[in-house]
Structure 1
Amino acid sequence: MFYKPIGPNVAEVRNAISLYRTLHATGGQAPIWALAENYRFEPGLLKASDLVRDLGDMMAVEVIVELPMEESNPYFSSSWRRDSSFPGGFMLDGGVHFTAGLRLITGSEVKSVMAIARHVDASLPPPDNVSALLQLENECAGVMVMSYSSRTRKVSWRVVGSRGTVEVERGINNGQHGYTVTHCPAKGSPQADFFPFAGVQEELKSFVKDVAKVVFEGKSSTEADQCSSVVEAFRDVAVIEAMLISSQTKGGAVQVEHHT
């Protein structure tokens, strides 16, 4: 298992996946290549995904990320996030998580983006802020705003449908970190439930099960859990890269690559 992001850009990720697939083509058993992107295993986000399916026509999507990357943060001084060969810095490193959440909750791929990125805090690698307009493949439009130089904290996904709204917000409940999932149906009373963080544990359980299936049951590594697959990780990187490219063109529309 490898940690995210799968690579610094789409081109390098595509080459790595192509090389990995040659291992399968030789006829031998290729190793399981799983990416530790725990958001696709978070119970709260999975619950939200289930609720969104019953919202009817999806009309609007909003992702808000305000995460101060201060010196007290253990990730602040990590050298590889500041390396010039890793364009995007914290925006790419963290952005793939929030993109994974977006894609999971909406059940739709991001088709294109129009974005403006800024570099505000000189102590952080550029960019540290981005605001993007998203066009999903289901024809719904949305916005995604990420700031690592903010002084406030908020992480949320909100989906508005013809039959109600579902919102997920990170927070603390009785000393536990997790997500509050609020479902506001068009008819009936709002329902809010709290789900403690469990994505890391769940992804590790999934990986161990996949290894056991290959070792003890003769399964192929291609049958591993798709939630941690290289294709899913590729698509997360592709969305963030499209935002950065769009910003370089002063907000021009950029198509997001989906295929590997």
Structure 2
Amino acid sequence: MATLPQIAVLGAGIFVKTQYIPRLAEISHLFCLKYIWSRSEESSRRAVEIAKQHFPGVECKWGDQGLNDIMQDSSLIGTAVVLAGQVQVDISLKLLKAGKHVIQEKPAATSIPEIETALASYKSVSTNPGQPIWAVAENYRFEPAFVESKKLVAGVGDMMNVQVIIEGSMNSSNPYFSSSWRRNFEVSLYSADGQCKSTFHPFCGVHEELKIFIHDIVKANLKQGNGYEAEPRSSFVEGARDVAVLEAMLESGSKGGTLVNVKKF
């Protein structure tokens, strides 16, 4: 039986405890969660207590020494960085330079200059067996509702008076990201004769992109530096492009709607 890949989660806040751990638990047959790291011992231990329900072997790591332990652990191939935006890029780059594959939370970075510096540093990362994967999570590109809408638009692109509409809803017994927090989507196709066909899709993009990340890091390691191409939808470059669009929108808005150029990556 093949050995499961081992990963670590860096971050132990409410989003890790209420969203990441449950989503990872759904695919626990694909990997082994070895560590949860936080700046403080207390927060790491609290997150580990929750995670042990699904990953009984998970261990606490905290502080600079704990981070160093993770970077030096040769059995660990992947990491999920779920920290404040101001520190995510720095931590991610440290892990990448240590040869660990990384999937980090949005945003890719907090500004265009930070992205440019980060990309330059990432391009210089060269490890054996090859450059590690740097992915960014929380992408609507993975939501089945948006995938279907794209297919519908492509399929009816030459037809006149056809609309594809995505409507979302959110249900929660706790507005502060409880485990019952869910988003749902309904995709409706309105044809030229006024007919409507609707399909319902649960919010499950995070689940899908985590599965793909695990698949990619396993394949990348098996390739032994032969240029494995990871899923482009979650790449750091795609995350950088998202930030560039948002910055352009904000700049345009501050200038009364003036056209501005979007930084290209």
Tell me if the contact between 1:6 and 1:234 (Cα under 8 Å) persists in the aligned partners.
yes
For residues 10 and 189 of structure 1, do their structure 2 counterparts lie closer, same or farther at Cα, with a shift above 3 Å needed?
same
Deviation, 1:27, is 7.7
For residues 162 and 219 of structure 1, do their structure 2 counterparts lie closer, same or farther at Cα, with a shift above 3 Å needed?
farther
Partner residue of 2:140? 39
Identity among equivalent positions (%) equals 38
Can you give the 5+ residue segments of structure 2 that lack an aligned partner in the other structure?
1-102, 172-179
Give the TM-score taking structure 2 as reference length: 0.53
Which of the pair is proportionally richer in strand?
Answer: 1
Let me know the Cα RMSD of the aligned residues. 2.5
Give CA-to-partner distance per residue, 1:132-174, whole Å, 9 cap, x none: xxxxxxxxxxxxxxxxxxxxxxxxxxxxx7250000011269x
Give the TM-score taking structure 1 as reference length: 0.54
Deviation, 1:251, is 2.5
Task: Give me the whole-angstrom Cα distance separating, in 1, the residues matched to 2:193 and 2:147.
Answer: 23
The alignment partner of 1:34 has SS state of strand
Tell me if the contact between 2:188 and 2:197 (Cα under 8 Å) persists in the aligned partners.
yes
Amino acid at match of 1:231: V
Amino acid at match of 1:11: P
Can you give the 5+ residue segments of structure 1 that lack an aligned partner in the other structure?
58-160
Tell me if the contact between 2:131 and 2:225 (Cα under 8 Å) persists in the aligned partners.
no
Deviation, 1:28, is 5.5
Deviation, 1:30, is 1.7
Task: Give me the whole-angstrom Cα distance separating, in 1, the residues matched to 2:195 and 2:135.
Answer: 40
Deviation, 1:220, is 5.1
Partner residue of 1:227? 233
Partner residue of 1:19? 121
Partner residue of 1:165? 163
Partner residue of 2:66? none
Q: How many residues align?
A: 154
Q: Does 1:51 align with 2:51?
A: no
The alignment partner of 1:4 has SS state of coil
The alignment partner of 1:40 has SS state of helix
Amino acid at match of 2:133: I
Tell me if the contact between 2:185 and 2:202 (Cα under 8 Å) persists in the aligned partners.
yes
Tell me if the contact between 1:37 and 1:233 (Cα under 8 Å) persists in the aligned partners.
no
Task: Give me the whole-angstrom Cα distance separating, in 1, the residues matched to 2:263 and 2:160.
Answer: 29
Partner residue of 1:30? 131
Deviation, 1:219, is 6.0
Tell me if the contact between 2:130 and 2:224 (Cα under 8 Å) persists in the aligned partners.
no
**What is the 5 A alignment of 1:216-255?**
216-218=222-224, 223-255=229-261
Tell me if the contact between 2:186 and 2:198 (Cα under 8 Å) persists in the aligned partners.
yes
